[in-house]
Amino acid sequence: MSSACVEAITSLSNRSSALDAVISSISVLENDACLNAGYGSNLTIDGQVECDASVMSNNEFGSVGAVSG
């Protein structure tokens, strides 16, 4: 998890926005096989994997829901 913190600090040091720093650090967490984010999800009642994700900032919002495959 410290690698996600390092990623955020590096991003901020390179004058990225706070939102970009958060997104880059979350990407590190999602790529970590020890965590469920990005690798695993609960199954639907039909036994399918579906993922949800969102990111929010002051005037920006992005999300996806029930994404399979």
pLDDT of residue 57: 81
pTM: 0.64
pLDDT of residue 20: 92
Average pLDDT, the chain: 85
pLDDT of residue 38: 60
- How would residue 15 be classed by pLDDT, with cut points 50, 70 and 90? very high
CA 48 from centre of chain? 21
25, two tokens: 């650090």
Q: What is the DSSP string of 3-33?
A: HHHHHHHHHHHTT--HHHHHHHHHHHHHT-T
Residue 40 has pLDDT above 60, yes or no: no
**Domain residue ranges in the chain:** 2-68
Between 8 and 37, the higher pLDDT residue: 8
Residues 6+ apart with CB under 8 A from 29: 1, 4, 35, 37, 38
